[in-house]
Structure 1
Amino acid sequence: DRILRFLLALVLLYFAFQSAAPWNWILGIVGVVLLFTAVTGFCALYKVLGISTKR
């Protein structure tokens, strides 16, 4: 789960900085959030929903 979040964050951040489209800031924000959750291992949404990906 963390690896997929990290890779998706990198892709979103890459596309956020590639062009000057007005919606790129949304991609950047989502990318930063995914990167944060991948690095720290904490996802507030998972906590609220009671989901755990630990084995």
Structure 2
Amino acid sequence: MKKYIKENQVYTVQEGSELEVQLLSDGFEEVVEAEEKPKKTRASKADAEAKAEDE
């Protein structure tokens, strides 16, 4: 399934369908969703101790 958007309209259609061809010819653009995973950061012991002292 692919998502297509134009202005405030969003359609989810099956890849290779006639509707997909119609949306493309009508000026819709494919929505590409990036799968970004947040990076986990580890605080060092010094940072944890400094934070504890501040509290």
- TM-score, length basis structure 1: 0.21
Larger RCO (alpha carbons 8 Å, 6+ apart): 1
Specify the structure having the higher radius of gyration (Cα).
2
**Structure with the largest fraction of strand:** 2
Bigger helix share: 1
Q: Normalising by the residue count of structure 2, what TM-score does the alignment of the two structures yield? A: 0.21
